[in-house]
Amino acid sequence: MNFTVNPLRSRIVFGAGTAAQLPEEIAALGAKRAMIVCTTGAAGRVQPLAASLGEVCTGIFDGVETHVPLAVVEAAVDKFRALDADCLITFGGGSSVDTGKAIAVETGRPAIAIPTTYSGAEMTPNYGIVIAGEKKRHQDQRAQARTIIYDAALTTGLSPHMTATSGMNGLAHCVEALYPPQPNPVAALLAEEAARALAEGLPGCIADADDLDARGGALYGAYLAGTVVSLVGIALHHRTCHVLGGTYGLAHGDANSVILPQVTAFNAPAAPQAMAALARALGTDDPAAAIFDLGQSIGAPSDLKSIGMREGDLDAAAKQAIEFTAYNPRPLEFGPVREMLQNAYEGKRPSAPV
């Protein structure tokens, strides 16, 4: 057995109420002047955090936008430098995290991530920026947050839609981690456990937004899901979602929710061990159908048509997805990939029994 695991740089602080430790975590980095990064919609929610920091919080950049346009990154870097900040705090989901990663790489300053969704993006050195209408992917170890605070209490205000779609994004990381280019038993172990935790936790989050046990379970799954991405990378699923988001403007969580069961069925014949692991995690003999059913049960979208994709763009999207995918367990040909996207467009329930 041969495999390689790169050590993770992040300190993990996990538990409801742990955001109260933020001042100590900033001090542990040797930092004294922090800028908070978030969306406009989250600006009110970060005020208590900013107040808890006192003079250590030098300002808030609340201009984060979906898919991280280059102009937004440039504005954030300019404000960070104008404030003479020496660390940054990202609060929110993948777009806030990716904006913070770009700032960290550009300035060389450390970041603390406080995720409030379930994508797991905070656990990777990968990030995307939209440049001239195309989402460009970057990987840089300087982008990795030095500290990540997982506080389930901060996720109770997350909308049911964002809870569902970011959770499906996290689950997608688990699926892709089960069929990497090179076998990785550590990633496989983490991915199976993460899939189980997300599948168990997400329905409870939707049933009762204040259920901290369910929220904590889903956040634990998201943490593990993000970890496996940093170990093994991504394949057709996320490449397709990057095309749908970066080129066609679909929300990343929505695209993940729709595409995941379809790609799972697409790859199933070429990844029997991955499907067996998913079957154990989800308690089913048909993982693709179970993922589709999970998404519907928590209110995630199930078809591309309803989230704004035009059927006339499916040919071009299929070609781009194939072009951008460096590895996938099943060889990529236009016809089958285009058929997979058609099924996703129509929201067909897939089936890929183990």
Give the model's pLDDT for residue 274: 96
Give the model's pLDDT for residue 131: 86
Residues of the chain with pLDDT under 70: 1-8
pLDDT digits (tens, 9 = 90+) for 144-189: 999 999 999 999 999 999 999 999 999 999 999 999 998 899 999 9
The whole-angstrom separation of Cα 185 and Cα 190 is 9
The whole-angstrom separation of Cα 178 and Cα 70 is 32
Query: What are the structural domains of the chain?
Result: 11-155 (3.40.50.1970), 160-346 (1.20.1090.10)
DSSP-derived secondary structure for 198-264: HHHHHHHHHH-TT-HHHHHHHHHHHHHHHHHHHHH---HHHHHHHHHHHTT---HHHHHHHHHHHHH
DSSP-derived secondary structure for 286-326: -HHHHHHHHHHHTT----TGGGT--GGGHHHHHHHHHHH-S
Instruction: Report if pTM > 0.85.
Output: yes
Ramachandran category for residue 254: left, alpha or beta (phi over 0 → left; psi -120 to 50 → alpha): alpha
Residues ≥6 apart with Cβ < 8 Å to 306: 347
